[in-house]
Amino acid sequence: MTVVLRSSDDVVVLRQRVREVAVRLSLSLLDQTKVVTAASELGRNAVNYAGGGEATIAGCDQGGRKGVVITFVDHGPGIPNIDEAMRPGFSTGGGLGLGLSGTRRLVDEFEIKSEVGRGTSVRIVQWK
């Protein structure tokens, strides 16, 4: 399913949908919490820094392994230096500085692609 992310209220919906899928796949409560938190962070990034975007949530059940797969796509300004952005402690928001590195620690798989002027896409997977 796809969740359009235009405002922070959409991020609330995103969290609920991710939680539903995680529960359906019987992820542990901790893994559920981690993937919902990661999704919330990435959803907020899309809304706050990219002018909005889209999140596609899927439950994956391959060869006995269950997982939640979420892909975030935005057509924002893109990230000029991904390595720098992924450094622990790096933050542009002036907030708590969770950043992408913190989010990456929460999930099992984390892939990011970005092109300046074109946009960014992030794919995360949380296995059971």
Q: Which residues bind other proteins (CB under 8 A)?
A: 8-9, 12, 15-16, 19, 28-30, 32-34, 36-37, 40-41, 44, 64, 88, 93, 95-98, 102-103, 105-106
Instruction: Tell me the β-bridge partners of 15.
Output: none
Indicate the residue among 8 and 116 with the shorter CB distance to other proteins: 8
Instruction: Tell me the β-bridge partners of 123.
Output: 71, 111
- Mapped to the 3 state alphabet, what secondary structure does the chain carry? CEEEECCHHHHHHHHHHHHHHHHHCCCCHHHHHHHHHHHHHHHHHHHHHCCCEEEEEEEEEECCEEEEEEEEEECCCCCCCHHHHCCCCCCCCCCCCCHHHHHHHHCCEEEEEEECCCEEEEEEEEEC
Minimum distance from residue 48 beta carbon to other proteins (Å):
9
Minimum distance from residue 69 beta carbon to other proteins (Å):
19
Minimum distance from residue 118 beta carbon to other proteins (Å):
25
Minimum distance from residue 86 beta carbon to other proteins (Å):
14
Indicate the residue among 16 and 56 with the shorter CB distance to other proteins: 16
Indicate the residue among 80 and 93 with the shorter CB distance to other proteins: 93
Alpha carbon 124 to its chain's center:
6
Indicate the residue among 32 and 114 with the shorter CB distance to other proteins: 32
